[in-house]
Chain A
Amino acid sequence: MHRFDRAFRFVLPAAAVAILATVLSVGWFTQPDRFAKGYAPEQPIPFSHELHAGTLRMQCQYCHSGVDKSRHAGIPSVDLCMGCHKVTKTDRPAIQKLAQIANSGQPLPWQRVHTLPDHVFFDHRPHVNAGIACQSCHGEVQTMKVVTREMGMRMGNCLGCHRDPHAALPTGSKITKGAEHCAACHR
């Protein structure tokens, strides 16, 4: 056996496989999108979008009122909830907890479900004003008991739609493309 045969036949292929396996597994474990989808944390108040937005057919903007005025859609302030829940379902323990928070003024830390990577300045206004439905990015929220993340919200998601937005836009919209330059979102 030539003295390099052993190296060529066994060591080199084994090393190649080992390196490939390492790269792939590290890549798989570190891919940012892996755990993004399906993220559904437990919230301090078990608020059901299925009930409010689905069964009761409340408009998204009734609570997320900043969405057409501000970059942020906004989480409703506790007093907005109390607008109804002063009289509605006051016997439920969750509503009693809510009332206690409203009266004491303690902070109500909702678990954030949808986040964007650092350095992104997403703005809800142009999207909502163009008639894009909330569900395009946030999924069928009106069917969710517990809000679950359905989109990874990576740059690929943004650009996919910006390059061909017609699926997300209402019929008859004149918009053919979204912005693709860096400063549209990064600044």
Chain B
Amino acid sequence: MLFKRTPAPHIKDHTSVRQIMYMVLYALIPGALASIYFFGWGVLFNLVIAISVCLLAEAAVLKLRKRDIYSTLLDGSTLVTACLLALALPSLAPWWITTIASLFAIVIAKHLYGGLGFNPFNPAMVGYIVVMISFPLEMTLWSAPTGVSVGNHVGWPDFMTSFNWVFLGVLPPNETIDSISMATPLDLIKTQLSQFHDIAETRNNVQFSALFSNISGTGWQWINILYLAGGIWLIKKDVVDWRIPTAFIISLVLISNLFAVIDYANNSSALFHAFSGGAMLCAFFIATDPVTASTTPKGRWIYGACTGVLVFIIRNWGGYPDGIAFAVVLMNITTPLIDYYTQPKVFGEAGK
């Protein structure tokens, strides 16, 4: 699909949905590779399942709706949704979790609302939320990152163990799911705080200290840094607007820093928040979704900043370890309102 030419002034640019989506996919690669490096085969399985289910579902719905299947299927938007979803899901999620999330994302969140360009909510995040509130237990199944020992091994489980667990739901006889999975730093700090162990205590605990790195969590730090790098490349290429990520990061850092300064023992540092969980993935790839995010310059500042604040609120006081998906979907609802009140002045309009 090419963007329609509008009346003058013309800027010659043949960017299509397809080009944009593939650039987003390229920018995801470093972070995704880091995810696979730190969390193992499970991430790869998530990607394979999510991509195949999303593409199949998209093709089926397009056929039902009597639309052109190939041009829409290959425009890359479905691939982006699938990849974002797969990278957000925990690495040891059973296959049916990924499948349900993918089906919800494409069929309900995207096509029941009218398809690409009409969906008010970010499809990948709706899919994530559906499985998050339906299967909270399975959604904590992250493997131990590379270099961290859990049970009687170090790092993530080998190919056969992961495969059997993800696709067949069986584990080797001497293993339980607890001996191959591990809480994420965000989750761990939350549960420890609820048992009145402050952050320094958790980080110094021999049992957990390997999970934490200088900035945030082992693995998470690098994954987030690489998403940041990919995101900066996207901004340089003019694929995403710089305002939403900047506003998001600034507001998340400011508010988490404020609380960390007030009560250092019970609040993680600003850097920890910015480089944990899905923060950078959200900042550059999820919150910037061209369909569901605010589109006016001022609106983007508001949208990004509010998302950052919501992420912090949900992480700190909500019932779930990470708040990215909920924050983004909550802000998606407000997008029309934000856009309505932040219309830029038309050139030549009289000033107040």
| A and B pair up | no
Give A contacts to B, CB under 8 Å: none
